[in-house]
Amino acid sequence: MGGNLASILLIFVSVSLVSCYSRPEDFLQCMSELTASKSSVHLFNPSSKEYANLFNVSQQNTRWMNSTSSTNPVFIFTPSEESEIQAAVVCAKRHRLEVRAKSGGHDYEGLSFRSQNPFVMVDLVNFRAINVDINNETAWVQAGATLGEVYYNIAKKSGVHAFPGGVCPSVGVGGHISGGGFGLLLRKYGLAADNVVDARIIDVNGRVLDRNAMGEDLFWAIRGGGGASFSVITAWKIKLVRVPPTTTVFKVTRRLNESATKIFHKWQLIGSTLPEEVFIQVMATVDRSNGGFFKTIFSSLFLGKKSELLPLMNARFPELGLQETDCQEMPWIKAQLHFAGANSTEALLNRVTPNRNSYKAKSDYVKDPIPESGLEGIWKRFLEGSDHKMYMIMDPYGGKMDEISESALPFPHRKGNLYNVQYLLQWYNNDPAKANGHMAWLRDHYSYMEQFVSRSPRAAYLNYKDLDLGMNAQKNGSTSFSEAKVWGERYFKGNFERLARVKGLVDPEDFFGNEQSIPPLLI
């Protein structure tokens, strides 16, 4: 880079009072000045072939392909050094362009690659270095790496270390951790964000900050509060966790005529109370083949051998009828592959989700078991739907999650929650009328579920982002803290005010704003 950080900040301060422009060529000129033209090889405009390829790959959710409801990036920027991101933040701020950072492209509402306002998409595809330190049981992971790449690199160094992130290997770690992040090791080790010990970010003034430089308030906020509201995250230092050399997995399907309702009801009672080494996820859906039938799928990871698991299941969950033949023993890395539906370790390195489709999701938390009569009503609604794939994916809490305070991180959904629900609706025909019909069905189902889930507020999980909960004003001015509470307290409960105060300190003008970013609350 031609200039160092000091020269970038000096140029920024000297022009901060100059009238701003948002012409693309002004941004390009600024970038050329601050990076000695180095950035030009990483900047792509809509007329370039590279832009089209990058933008297409960015959209893991195809719901917005060919959409006219939002603005595409003015530029797509693929930096390879932090100094280039520093320059992009300074130049975008100077010329009134937004910055949207994309690590994996899995944002459920597409906010990393679309906006109502002109913006630069900072694609972190070149920020994928992973440095695993087994001796200290840590790893520095750049924000553009995927979970699959992280797991692959850990497994290369050790068969008894892991990281408690999600199941989908193509999810980027930048956004996953900043929203909390959870997976198969949730009940044993908590969230991905619970296992972060340091970070590197580019702040609103273009400075590179680590944990010590940013301070504990901002470090708290980016681990579960949505990092995109505060900065561009470039890397996380994660804490590795111990797993046994042998784990056990099973997948058992039960239909309605196989007592699925009674079995699921029992799971509600024991799923969060089993030993923390046991994680049993349940997915409810309708199989449209052979006339269509409802089924529940019980999928489990146990940190140990099946000879230990089977007696435990027979004692605590005999209704499931688990058999030795249902169980497979394998290393932790193979268990991740098993849950991801992948066949080889190399499949973890695939950055694009196979068979991409359109989807919309919503989320809930359940604190009290849903009665069997209520479950029967839910299953009936599933069977009445058609022309789409609908899933209710339910992950048990308890274990380590019960031991961590609601205010330890912005993610507040700890003790008292039996399980989390993700309502995931998928479809392949992206005709707008059909898409609207699918989403109307999902919203109606979500309304029906209100009687069974958490209240005051009806809680939601940030990484299952849902703009139906509320949106910030974009083109017509800023959103106040009181207005944003409508959606903010559903994600963060009592932590929302602290997040807004941190935002007011580090980004008072809301440069890192989006449709559901934390609003600044000025003290």
Task: Count helices and strands (H / E) in the chain.
Answer: 16, 18
- Name the band, by pLDDT with cuts 50, 70 and 90, for residue 474: low
Q: Which ranges of 456-495 would DSSP assign to H, the alpha helix?
A: 481-492
Q: How far apart are CA 260 and CA 255, in angstroms?
A: 5
> Do 83 and 205 touch, CB atoms closer than 8 A?
no
Q: How far apart are CA 375 and CA 368, in angstroms?
A: 13
pLDDT of residue 291: 72
pLDDT of residue 434: 83
Instruction: Please choose, from the candidates 187, 159, 192, the residue with its C-alpha nearest in 3D space to the C-alpha of residue 335.
Output: 159
> Do 381 and 284 touch, CB atoms closer than 8 A?
no
Please name the helix (run of DSSP H) or strand (run of DSSP E) that holds residue 6, with its range, or none.
Answer: helix 5-15
Establish how many alpha carbons lie within 13 A of residue 108's alpha carbon, considering only the half-sphere containing its beta carbon: 21
DSSP 358: E
Instruction: Indicate if the pLDDT at residue 271 is higher than 80.
Output: yes
Antiparallel, parallel or unpaired: β 138-142 and 130-133: antiparallel
pLDDT of residue 9: 45
Strand order in the sheet with 75-77: 43-44, 75-77, 119-123, 98-102
Tokens of 480: 């106040």
pLDDT tens readout for residues 87-138: 999 999 999 999 999 999 889 999 998 998 999 999 999 999 999 999 999 9
Mean pLDDT, residues 9-22 taken together: 41
- Name the band, by pLDDT with cuts 50, 70 and 90, for residue 482: very high
> Do 87 and 9 touch, CB atoms closer than 8 A?
no
Cα 49 vs. chain centroid, distance in angstroms?
29
474: left (phi over 0), alpha (psi -120 to 50) or beta: alpha
User: What is the greatest pairwise CA distance in the chain?
Assistant: 73
pLDDT of residue 12: 41
Q: How far apart are CA 217 and CA 237, in angstroms?
A: 17
Average pLDDT, the chain: 92
- Residues with Cβ < 8 Å from 80, sequence gap 6 or more? 42, 126, 127
Taking CA 398 as the corner, what is the angle to CA 396 and CA 401, rounded to the nearest 5 degrees?
110
Q: Which ranges of 144-259 would DSSP assign to H, the alpha helix?
A: 147-157, 173-178, 186-189, 211-214, 216-222
| DSSP strands (E only) in 154-273 | 161-162, 196-202, 208-210, 232-239, 241-242, 247-255
Tokens of 52: 């089209």
pLDDT of residue 66: 67
Tokens of 212: 């010590």
pLDDT of residue 477: 56
- Name the band, by pLDDT with cuts 50, 70 and 90, for residue 7: very low
Nearest 10 degrees: Cα torsion 322, 364, 188, 201: 140
Handedness of CA 251, 193, 145, 231 (dihedral sign): positive
pLDDT of residue 16: 39
pLDDT tens readout for residues 344-400: 899 899 887 777 888 999 999 999 999 999 999 999 998 887 677 899 999 999 999
Antiparallel, parallel or unpaired: β 293-302 and 247-255: antiparallel
pLDDT tens readout for residues 257-267: 999 999 999 99
Of 236-240, 434-438, 464-468, give the lowest mean pLDDT range: 434-438
Q: How far apart are CA 455 and CA 272, in angstroms?
A: 20
